[in-house]
Structure 1
């Protein structure tokens, strides 16, 4: 849908508002209208307009009169309070659901596809009053923006015309994993967050956030389900690639800068913001044996070093940036945890009132929206608990209600809401919240609290006044040449040079023959190299490999996808055989993608140079190898020397292997 049929409203002459308006219907809690205002740009709308006091307003409830929530001159708090008071119980319940935007021809059950199912969305928006959705759609920027506009048109048809908020997992990196990140759309491509930690430049991270903010807003994404403030203190954990490493002080600075970029400053939500959802509150990185709590077998976080407080530090950076939203962890502690006199309950984070109400809202004073991770109210069936006995694991029967496995769906909704949850991730059925109020298990005023918090942020973002985007402009914003050039530079800077025997790097291309593994030969040729078929015929062999992993739980949904177990290169694996083959050349260069900290003990003697990367293109790699750019990165976590030392280290303590092969912060340059 192209948005162009209604003229843009722009008035530049200040207008004095009659004093009769002030302190009357439009005053609330000491908030008054400014004495001079200019017409707000309302852009396109399908709603009728109201003219009052020389201004124009949307008649969102189509009653022919200007109501406070429709008056863009009023403070967001006043408008949100007025609208909350107009909501039915069902509409309040709908606001508390953070659904998954349905797509056509969805084969995964997770909302992946290239076009929205608008008929289904119409039902969810207009009949169920749901108006926040995660998108996993993958399409070009123009298409994403166009379809987003169609969703807002559906929203304008609802009783109160509450605009829709669209969220997304990260889209601007290299690794795409269902449930953790999303792909497609042509967004500028940056290193993983580990790469930003390796560079350690908060200004760069803030710039990254600001660029992605512009790209997201261009296509209608107004909420980022990131950053991860989790600490990578357990080397085997599958979610390390989305963190800023294992050091709390480094992560705190990076988290703060990331959020300031996404939210357009450090003063909270404004009409330029993409709301950041910092996650996962708290201690998620300290996973027992490194298993992940998307899985029943990995539901426990553990603190043998009594170091839970250390895992709260990065969130302090989020609070300093006035983050808009917090997502609790799936994990439940495997033993009692007490912090500042607050004893956590041994349930998943979304059900833990001391964690959410006493610690997050109480000690830290968080006032924003608490949104649960996906599936916490869903049942985990026998296949989910035990792994499938035959066939492939799927989302059918999948849930993450850790600590509440035997409870009913209704009981989980009640427990989580009373704990402090404002929105339920991945949920599309408001009937449980409605039933809880009818049965006296929840008060309507408790639903009103959450509804107000959600509405307030929509007003602060300007969605009620100007929800549509310019689909034609989206293509020139998303992934434009300037953004991508800055992303490429960040890729280069993030490389960590671990070994450079005889100062072989940087190297020239003059007359050099190369043998390649995991690299596009056309890129090497563009730099003047001649590609050969055998390492013995080469002057230098260049290989790109990934950190080793095992699939220890193939019968579980996420266990079948996540990287678990050993971090060591072993005979027989394709990557290690390539490293050994490269050693047959006179010189060899190994670049290892580190979604987890690889063990390189048996790689050092087989390579002239070793570089760690956290998501880079072949072009970025060759720019560094040839000296066009220099590696600037330093390890955001230590690299262990053996799996025995990994097993012996404590899951909640950083820098905790006895004899690391490379220490935290190590990095060479030239």
Structure 2
């Protein structure tokens, strides 16, 4: 611990402490706060931060280190799932019980109905946080990475995602997208985005990162990561979170279900995985999220990075000089629970140097374990204060402490505006990559034709059909899913024979983890090609699929499956725009990861 931090922690409530803390916060962060809304919490200055820290109980301090969630879309509506997890029925009661420092929204946990509802929900939560106990507002967060990982769908503005930005190669557009996303989140009361993903996806068989990464090139990932940090933090004024440190890009295992090991040498880590995080730190990133992965060259103990003091403190804090907030990836994931029990995981994460614990699967057990670790002397209260200081200073810097509420009536003036939607379309238009056009099928003429849209995605196939219909096509949709049945394949083949053109959408058809998925998506494409009709194959997620059916004469990569990507795809299909995207990764030959079938930078146009 530096002398400066030791001084802050030991004399926090004194005038000297306030001056010291002031030196750590940019001048803009301590400007006069805006007019206080009804229910405004009392902490509006550095002096009050110091006083609040001195007055907190141990339990209240530890509460700030937890980031929780609640089931349901209303803070005051009981849900049995909350009772099962927390022992109380409503999200409001969860906030009152634990006084957590953070909160996270999930669409999959029935949090999200629409942006206005989220703004109201945020206010409900903050009202409880600022009217009980220590009266400290929470930092509300979500994973709005864009592309394939979004928690808030339309009418919020949707973008193509990280690999789409990598294909377009525009730092300006990546920053603009982050700025728009950040401003829309802020209007809903969400002040932290767990983005951007700074992982370098050098493994085509990576099941968990893939298109969530910008590229396989460390420099391109670094440049786009910095652009998005600037968009979130400088342009939107929210907290960006680079993830997943120390780098999750070279694994064939999914840390949600198992504990991956990345066998990069220290030199490989320095040249491949570290550069984007170093660049983010240099750019002033507020927060970094850990990865539940083992990297023996950084720590030979076999502990996941989240629980590794050599990695969290030794590498991230000391070597890279990161002074911001470290938050774990979700503690409910199997990878971090594989070696130790839940109670021990929480304690070891803090011992490693982590500041906040995200989504503890046994909150009562893990909360009590941390309290007991301090009371027994295993963890010092000074160590807790160090994290608490970072948490509160970041809340002050971002205005969370003195302006936690939003106006639901004004959400529509920021979220999904015509200008935002048009900008998103313009940005995504630049990302579509024409990988193969051997038969010169593209661009299609403007003549009327019958088009079959088949393959993966109920919403995606329909969105593409809608875009084609606007151009005068007569469309038929035959969605077949990620693992098409033989009957669905036969039906699609029959429909293809009755149409002029077939567009088949694939989604991770390369994925060898599920044999049925591997066989069936590939079989669908090959059977459609065997009809002899015009078939356009489109990968709507990872671009690697073509390695498994390279006989396809026409292949396009969109890197995302939102409606905005389908509209851009249609523009390319009809020649309204020329394809401008360039592969941000190698597409390797199937089974030969070191041999490029289509190399980084490849992309056709006209």
TM range (shorter): 0.7 to 0.9
Q: What are the within-5 Å matches in structure 2 for residues 607-626 of structure 1?
A: 607=553, 609-616=554-561, 617=563, 618-626=566-574
* Largest Rg, 1 or 2: 1
* SS state at 2:588 partner: coil
Q: Distance in 2 between matches of 1:147 and 1:184?
A: 17
Unaligned runs of 5+ in 2: 1-13, 456-460, 477-493
2:319 matched to 1:371?
no
Structure 2 counterpart of 1:45: 38
Structure 2 counterpart of 1:245: 215
Rate the CA distance shift 1:236–1:27 in 2: closer, same or farther, 3 A: closer
Rate the CA distance shift 1:111–1:523 in 2: closer, same or farther, 3 A: farther
Is the Cα–Cα contact under 8 Å of residues 277 and 325 in structure 1 kept in the other structure?
yes
Deviation at 1:26, TM superposition (A): 9.8
Is the Cα–Cα contact under 8 Å of residues 82 and 89 in structure 2 kept in the other structure?
no
Q: Distance in 2 between matches of 1:332 and 1:291?
A: 11
| Aligned mate of 1:102, from 54, 71, 74 | 71
Rate the CA distance shift 1:669–1:550 in 2: closer, same or farther, 3 A: closer
* SS state at 1:640 partner: strand
| Aligned mate of 2:421, from 484, 487, 497 | 484
* SS state at 2:195 partner: coil
Structure 2 counterpart of 1:635: 583
2:496 matched to 1:535?
yes
Structure 2 counterpart of 1:329: 291
Deviation at 1:513, TM superposition (A): 3.4
Deviation at 1:504, TM superposition (A): 3.5
Q: Distance in 1 between matches of 2:69 and 2:58?
A: 22
Deviation at 1:140, TM superposition (A): 0.9
Structure 2 counterpart of 1:200: 169
Structure 1 counterpart of 2:506: 545
Q: Distance in 2 between matches of 1:538 and 1:25?
A: 77
Structure 2 counterpart of 1:662: 598
1:435-480 CA-to-partner distances (Å, cap 9, x unmatched) read: 1111111111111011110001111111222111110111232112
* SS state at 2:406 partner: coil
Q: Distance in 2 between matches of 1:27 and 1:347?
A: 38
Structure 2 counterpart of 1:230: 199
Is the Cα–Cα contact under 8 Å of residues 238 and 596 in structure 1 kept in the other structure?
no
Q: Distance in 1 between matches of 2:243 and 2:91?
A: 27
The alignment's C-alpha RMSD in Å is 3.2
Q: Distance in 2 between matches of 1:631 and 1:111?
A: 51
* SS state at 1:28 partner: helix
Q: Please report the TM-score for the alignment, with normalisation by the length of structure 1.
A: 0.75
1:318-339 CA-to-partner distances (Å, cap 9, x unmatched) read: 1122111111110113xx415x
Deviation at 1:515, TM superposition (A): 3.2
Larger proportion of helix: 2
Q: Distance in 2 between matches of 1:345 and 1:325?
A: 26
* SS state at 1:326 partner: strand
2:118 matched to 1:144?
yes
Q: Distance in 1 between matches of 2:170 and 2:254?
A: 29
* SS state at 1:238 partner: coil
Q: Distance in 2 between matches of 1:516 and 1:410?
A: 50
Q: Distance in 2 between matches of 1:194 and 1:203?
A: 15
Rate the CA distance shift 1:635–1:79 in 2: closer, same or farther, 3 A: farther
Rate the CA distance shift 1:512–1:404 in 2: closer, same or farther, 3 A: closer
Structure 2 counterpart of 1:598: 545
Q: Distance in 2 between matches of 1:591 and 1:108?
A: 40
2:350 matched to 1:350?
no
Is the Cα–Cα contact under 8 Å of residues 206 and 261 in structure 1 kept in the other structure?
yes
| Aligned mate of 2:262, from 298, 301, 325 | 301
Q: Distance in 1 between matches of 2:446 and 2:78?
A: 48
Deviation at 1:105, TM superposition (A): 7.4
Q: Distance in 1 between matches of 2:104 and 2:349?
A: 20
Deviation at 1:403, TM superposition (A): 6.9
Q: Distance in 1 between matches of 2:184 and 2:257?
A: 33
* SS state at 1:515 partner: strand
Unaligned runs of 5+ in 1: 1-22, 48-57, 61-68, 266-271, 377-397, 553-563, 647-656
Q: Please report the TM-score for the alignment, with normalisation by the length of structure 2.
A: 0.82
Is the Cα–Cα contact under 8 Å of residues 145 and 161 in structure 2 kept in the other structure?
no
Q: Distance in 2 between matches of 1:599 and 1:540?
A: 19
Rate the CA distance shift 1:524–1:585 in 2: closer, same or farther, 3 A: farther
Is the Cα–Cα contact under 8 Å of residues 348 and 401 in structure 1 kept in the other structure?
yes
Is the Cα–Cα contact under 8 Å of residues 101 and 111 in structure 1 kept in the other structure?
no
Q: Distance in 1 between matches of 2:571 and 2:84?
A: 38
Structure 1 counterpart of 2:20: 29
Rate the CA distance shift 1:601–1:436 in 2: closer, same or farther, 3 A: closer
2:336 matched to 1:401?
yes
2:124 matched to 1:127?
no
Is the Cα–Cα contact under 8 Å of residues 580 and 605 in structure 2 kept in the other structure?
yes
Structure 1 counterpart of 2:128: 154
Is the Cα–Cα contact under 8 Å of residues 299 and 402 in structure 1 kept in the other structure?
no
Most deviating of 505-514 and 422-431: 505-514
* SS state at 2:597 partner: coil
Deviation at 1:278, TM superposition (A): 1.0
Q: Distance in 2 between matches of 1:539 and 1:291?
A: 41
Structure 2 counterpart of 1:412: 345
2:248 matched to 1:284?
yes
1:402-425 CA-to-partner distances (Å, cap 9, x unmatched) read: 5743xx544433322121011111
Q: Distance in 2 between matches of 1:108 and 1:516?
A: 39
2:527 matched to 1:580?
yes
Rate the CA distance shift 1:148–1:168 in 2: closer, same or farther, 3 A: same
Structure 2 counterpart of 1:269: none
Q: Distance in 1 between matches of 2:188 and 2:320?
A: 33
Deviation at 1:538, TM superposition (A): 3.9
2:351 matched to 1:421?
no
